[in-house]
């Protein structure tokens, strides 16, 4: 119980004050990462990993999450080295030669736009895949456009709110996403056949590596920290919570892949378009209160997709806002809405969509690995970029540093109680 008290984020009087800028606590940043990761990928993951790594797919999903954690720790380090700054801020700062602010921005633009493009296309793709799944499985007579439109509008409603609301929505929806997924994974084991998982550890190494790389891409979403890390808490143990944000989806995904392989076997799995949905169909509710759970599962999955979509949308808007130096992102969000809608309808069929999706994943992997690594090396070399005193950025940094210092020196409001 003491642990529970200690683990709870320390509330402070500042929470009551609207004039104090919102800071996301460590648990919230972990939740944000986890709920961004869990999204459309969960429906196809068993098939894609099994096609490369065969019966060891679930191991590659597990190792993939470890890779994702490594990449995330790069980003986490980078973000913590530049407290109070988002990707836009520190990329500019790191790339500014001497006092030439403009050149810094110009040099940073390719990196930033690469991310913006990735997130924009991601939003559209997620919306489209979501629409495809809903129209092919549950609402067969509803047009695809309507599903995509309603989903995007709901995400738009979220994006119109402050960042505080986004963080809280993620935090509150995460258990509603994770628990049903875990239940599905566990309860479908009732029709599992252990034979399907054998032989274990007999691997085609090349395929296994490919499968692992592929499953690493299914954990994409953690790179949102590049933009949302700016409002993250500096004290405590941020890295631990960030990694936990990948570990939770990692376990859930591995469990789903495990049960997928155990229930269907590799050969059958490769033929299923939405293997997780098929997995849901095999589960039976005790007492037969409900037959055929896939509609109910899809209803829960709406929340999972929504958090992914909403966060990508929000991240894109925030990034563009910071690049343009605007005060609020509302107009950007409004302008992006038709763009997302139009882009999402570009793929002619599901086959092309899957193709695009895998290319998008590779693009994302590049964004989430090479760019942070490059920036981190730069950051180490330039030592926070302190050699180039940048009036605006320095002021920013000072403020952030004092905030962090204040947060550290602030005596905890809830000291451990002696039993």
Partner 1 sequence: MTAGRQSILSRLHNRHQSIRSRVLDQHFADQLEGMENVTLSESLDENTKQLKFILGQSQDLVYRFFQLGPIGDKRAMLVYIDGLVKAEIIDEFVIQSGMYDQQNVPAANANVLSHLQIRGIPVHESAYIELLGDAVHAILCGDGALFVDGDAHALIVNIRGWGMRNISEPATESVVRGPREGFTETLRTNTALIRRRLKDPMLRVEQLQVGKRSRTDVAVIYIEGLTNPKIVKEVLKRIRSIDIDAILESGYIEQLIQDNGWTPFPLMQNTERPDKAVSHLLEGKVVIISDGTPFVLIAPAVFTQFYHSPEDYYERFSIGTLIRLIRIISMAMALLLPSLYIAFSSFHPEMIPSRLVIAMAAGRSTVPFPSIIEAFLMEVTMEILREASVRLPGPIGPTIGIVGALVVGQAAVQAGIVSPIMVIVVALTTIGSFASPSYSAAIALRMLRFPIMIAAALFGLYGIMLLLIIIIIHLCWLKSFGVPYLSPLTPTRLSDLKDTLIRTPLNWMKRRPAMFLPRDQVRYNKPQPSDGEQTGESQDERSDSHEPHPIG
Among 40, 303, 333, 375, binds partner 1 (CB under 8 A): 303
Note whether 261 and 58 are within 8 A (CB): yes
Of 221, 271, 270, the closest CA to residue 242 belongs to 221
Q: Select from 14-22, 43-51, 101-109, 178-186 the region that touches partner 1 (CB under 8 A).
A: 14-22
Of 125, 149, 82, 152, the closest CA to residue 314 belongs to 152
Q: Residue 71's CB: how many other CB atoms inside 10 A?
A: 21
Note whether 243 and 26 are within 8 A (CB): no
Burial class for 268, CB neighbours closer than 10 Å (0-12, 13-18, 19+)? middle
CB of 332 to partner 1, least distance (A): 19
| 12 lines the binding site for partner 1 (CB under 8 A) | yes
Rank residues 292 and 359 by Cβ distance to partner 1 and give the closer one. Answer: 292
Q: Measure the CA–CA gap between 112 and 108, rounded to whole angstroms.
A: 6
Among 201, 205, 289, 349, binds partner 1 (CB under 8 A): 289
Binding-residue pattern over the window 149 to 168 for partner 1, x denoting contact by CB under 8 A: -xx--x--xx--xx--x--x
* Cα distances (angstroms) measured from residue 367 to each of 75, 140, 324, 370: 11, 36, 21, 6
Rank residues 28 and 379 by Cβ distance to partner 1 and give the closer one. Answer: 28
| 293 lines the binding site for partner 1 (CB under 8 A) | yes
Contacts of 177 (CB under 8 A, 6+ apart): 35, 38, 300, 303, 304, 307
| 286 lines the binding site for partner 1 (CB under 8 A) | no
Rank residues 106 and 414 by Cβ distance to partner 1 and give the closer one. Answer: 414
| 304 lines the binding site for partner 1 (CB under 8 A) | no
Q: What is the dihedral of CA 40, 41, 43, 49, to 10 degrees?
A: 170
Q: Measure the CA–CA gap between 292 and 302, rounded to whole angstroms.
A: 17
| 267 lines the binding site for partner 1 (CB under 8 A) | no
Q: Measure the CA–CA gap between 339 and 119, rounded to whole angstroms.
A: 13
Binding-residue pattern over the window 120 to 149 for partner 1, x denoting contact by CB under 8 A: --------------x---xx--x----x--
Among 70, 106, 172, 362, binds partner 1 (CB under 8 A): 172
| 190 lines the binding site for partner 1 (CB under 8 A) | no
CB of 235 to partner 1, least distance (A): 15
CB of 326 to partner 1, least distance (A): 21
Note whether 306 and 154 are within 8 A (CB): yes
CB of 45 to partner 1, least distance (A): 22
| 1 lines the binding site for partner 1 (CB under 8 A) | yes
- Per CB under 8 A, residues contacting partner 1 are 1, 4-5, 7-9, 11-13, 15-18, 25, 27-28, 134, 138-139, 142, 147, 150-151, 154, 157-158, 161-162, 165, 168-169, 171-173, 288-293, 295-296, 298-300, 302-303, 306, 413-415, 417-419
């Amino acid at each position: 119980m003491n642990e529970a008290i200690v683990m709870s984020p320390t509330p402070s009087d500042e929470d009551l004050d609207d004039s104090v800028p919102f800071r996301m606590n460590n648990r919230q940043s972990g939740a944000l990462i986890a709920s961004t990761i869990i999204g459309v990928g969960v429906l196809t993951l068993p098939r894609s990993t099994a096609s490369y790594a065969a019966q060891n797919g679930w191991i590659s999903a597990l190792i993939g999450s470890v890779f994702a954690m490594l990449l995330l720790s790069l980003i986490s380090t980078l973000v913590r080295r530049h407290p109070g700054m988002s990707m836009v801020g520190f990329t500019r700062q790191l790339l500014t030669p001497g006092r030439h602010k403009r050149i810094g921005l110009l040099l940073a633009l390719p990196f930033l736009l690469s991310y913006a493009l990735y997130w924009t296309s991601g939003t559209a793709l997620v919306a489209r895949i979501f629409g495809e799944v809903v129209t092919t499985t549950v609402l067969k007579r509803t047009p695809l456009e309507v599903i995509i439109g309603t989903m995007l509008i709901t995400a738009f409603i979220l994006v119109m709110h402050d960042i505080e609301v986004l963080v809280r929505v993620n935090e509150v929806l995460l258990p509603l996403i994770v628990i049903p997924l875990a239940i599905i994974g566990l309860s479908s084991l009732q029709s599992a056949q252990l034979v399907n998982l054998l032989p274990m550890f007999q691997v085609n190494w090349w395929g296994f590596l490919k499968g692992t790389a592929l499953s690493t891409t299914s954990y994409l979403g953690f790179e949102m920290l590049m933009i949302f890390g700016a409002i993250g808490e500096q004290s405590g143990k941020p890295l631990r919570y960030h990694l936990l944000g990948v570990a939770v989806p990692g376990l859930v995904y591995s469990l789903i892949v495990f049960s997928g392989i155990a229930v269907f076997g590799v050969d059958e799995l490769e033929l299923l378009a939405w293997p997780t949905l098929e997995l849901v169909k095999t589960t039976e509710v005790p007492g037969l209160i409900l037959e055929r759970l896939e509609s109910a599962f899809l209803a829960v999955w709406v929340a999972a997709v929504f958090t992914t979509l909403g966060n990508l949308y929000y991240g894109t808007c925030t990034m563009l806002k910071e690049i343009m130096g605007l005060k609020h992102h509302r107009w950007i969000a409004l302008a992006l809405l038709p763009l997302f809608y139009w882009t999402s309808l570009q793929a002619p069929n599901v086959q092309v969509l899957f193709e695009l999706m895998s290319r998008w994943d590779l693009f994302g992997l590049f964004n989430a690995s090479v760019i942070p690594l490059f920036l981190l090396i730069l950051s180490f070399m330039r030592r926070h970029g302190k050699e180039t005193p940048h009036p605006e950025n320095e002021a920013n940094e000072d403020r952030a540093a004092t905030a962090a210092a204040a947060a550290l020196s602030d005596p905890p409001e809830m000291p451990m109680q002696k039993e």
